[in-house]
Amino acid sequence: KLQARDLRLEYTVFNMQRNVLSLVRSLRRGDSLERFTQHDALRLTTGLGQRFRSSLSFSVEEGEDGFVDLANGKLKLLCAAENNWSAPKPTLSGLDSPAEKVAVVRSALTPLDASASWASLNQLVTRVDDKVVAIDASVIQRKPLVDTYVRSGSSFALEDSSVCLLKYLKAQGVRVHMEPAVETIKSAGAAFTARQSSNEVLMMAPTGFQSNLQAAQDNYFMAGAKGERFTSNEAVRNKVLEEYHGLYHVLTQEAGLKVNLMSYTELHGTPDACFPNNWFSTCGDTLTLYPMKVPNRQLERREDIIEFLKTKNYKNMLDLSVTEQEAPPRYLEGTGSLVLDHIGGVAYVAVSERSDVKLAQEWADKLGFKEVVAYHSVDREGRAIYHTNVVQAIGTSFAVIVGESIRDEAERANVMAKLGATREVIDITYDQMDQFCGNVLEVENDRGLPVLALSTQAYDGFTPAQRETLLKHVAALHHAPVPTLEAIGGGGVRCCIAEVF
**283-328 per-position pLDDT tens digit:** 989 999 999 999 999 999 999 999 999 999 999 999 999 999 999 9
Tell me the pLDDT tens digit for each residue of 365-424. Answer: 999 999 999 999 999 999 999 999 999 999 999 999 999 999 999 999 999 999 999 999
Kindly tell me the burial class for residue 362, based on how many C-beta atoms sit within 10 Å of its own C-beta (0-12, 13-18, 19 or more).
Answer: middle
Q: Rounded to whole angstroms, how far apart are CA atoms 420 and 403?
A: 12
Burial 487-500 (b: 16+ CB within 10 A, else e): bbbbbbbbbbbbbb
Q: Which of 4-13, 257-266, 424-433, 491-500 has the lowest mean pLDDT?
A: 4-13
Between residues 68 and 6, which one has the greater pLDDT?
68
Predicted local confidence at residue 210, as pLDDT: 82
Predicted local confidence at residue 109, as pLDDT: 75
Percent of the chain with pLDDT over 70: 79
Q: Which of 24-28, 139-143, 490-494 has the lowest mean pLDDT?
A: 24-28
Instruction: Determine the average pLDDT of the residues in 456-473.
Output: 98
Q: How confident is the model at residue 33 (pLDDT cuts 50, 70, 90)?
A: low
Q: Rounded to whole angstroms, how far apart are CA atoms 86 and 89?
A: 9
Instruction: Determine the average pLDDT of the residues in 202-206.
Output: 97
Nearest to 293 by CA among 320, 262, 267: 320
Looking at residue 1, its amino acid is K
Distance of CA 229 to the CA centre of its chain: 37
Q: Which of 92-96, 110-114, 211-215, 477-481 has the lowest mean pLDDT?
A: 110-114
Q: Rounded to whole angstroms, how far apart are CA atoms 345 and 367?
A: 9
CB-based contact 442:455 (threshold 8 Å): no
DSSP sequence for 134-202? EE-HHHHTT--EEEEEEEETTEEEEEEEEEEHHHHHHHTT-EEEEHHHHHHHHHHT--TT--SS-SEEE
Q: Rounded to whole angstroms, how far apart are CA atoms 486 and 454?
A: 11
Mean pLDDT (the chain, rounded): 85
DSSP sequence for 426-446? EE--HHHHHTTSSS-EEEE-T
Q: Rounded to whole angstroms, how far apart are CA atoms 107 and 85?
A: 10
Q: Which of 3-7, 168-172, 186-190 has the lowest mean pLDDT?
A: 3-7
Q: Helices 2-28 and 38-46 meet at what angle, rounded to 10?
A: 130
Pairing of strands 132-135, 175-178: parallel
Tell me the pLDDT tens digit for each residue of 84-118. Answer: 567 888 988 877 778 899 998 887 776 655 544 55
Nearest to 339 by CA among 423, 267, 238: 423
Q: How far is CA 98 from CA 147, 158, 199, 212, 407, in A?
A: 19, 17, 34, 64, 61
Nearest to 14 by CA among 48, 65, 58: 48
Nearest to 392 by CA among 408, 373, 409: 373
Q: Which of 85-99, 152-166, 361-375, 429-443 has the lowest mean pLDDT?
A: 85-99
Burial 155-188 (b: 16+ CB within 10 A, else e): ebebeeeebebbbbbbeeebbbbbbbbbebbeeb
Predicted local confidence at residue 88, as pLDDT: 86
Q: Rounded to whole angstroms, how far apart are CA atoms 444 and 195?
A: 9
Q: Rounded to whole angstroms, how far apart are CA atoms 316 and 7?
A: 61
Instruction: Determine the average pLDDT of the residues in 36-53.
Output: 47
Predicted local confidence at residue 40, as pLDDT: 56
Q: Rounded to whole angstroms, how far apart are CA atoms 319 and 306?
A: 11
CB-based contact 194:252 (threshold 8 Å): no
Q: Rounded to whole angstroms, how far apart are CA atoms 197 and 501?
A: 8
Please, which residues bridge with residue 340 across strands? Answer: 347
Please, which residues bridge with residue 76 across strands? Answer: 69, 102
State the Cα torsion 11-14-15-20 to the nearest 10°: 160
Between residues 435 and 50, which one has the greater pLDDT?
435
Domains with residue ranges and CATH for the chain: 67-184 (no CATH), 200-499 (3.75.10.10)
Kindly tell me the burial class for residue 316, based on how many C-beta atoms sit within 10 Å of its own C-beta (0-12, 13-18, 19 or more).
Answer: exposed
Q: Which residues are CB-contacts of 116 (< 8 A; sequence separation ≥ 6)? A: 110
CB-based contact 144:105 (threshold 8 Å): yes
Q: How confident is the model at residue 193 (pLDDT cuts 50, 70, 90)?
A: confident
Predicted local confidence at residue 23, as pLDDT: 62
Instruction: Determine the average pLDDT of the residues in 429-433.
Output: 98
Kindly tell me the burial class for residue 206, based on how many C-beta atoms sit within 10 Å of its own C-beta (0-12, 13-18, 19 or more).
Answer: buried
Q: Rounded to whole angstroms, how far apart are CA atoms 38 and 25?
A: 19
Predicted local confidence at residue 47, as pLDDT: 46
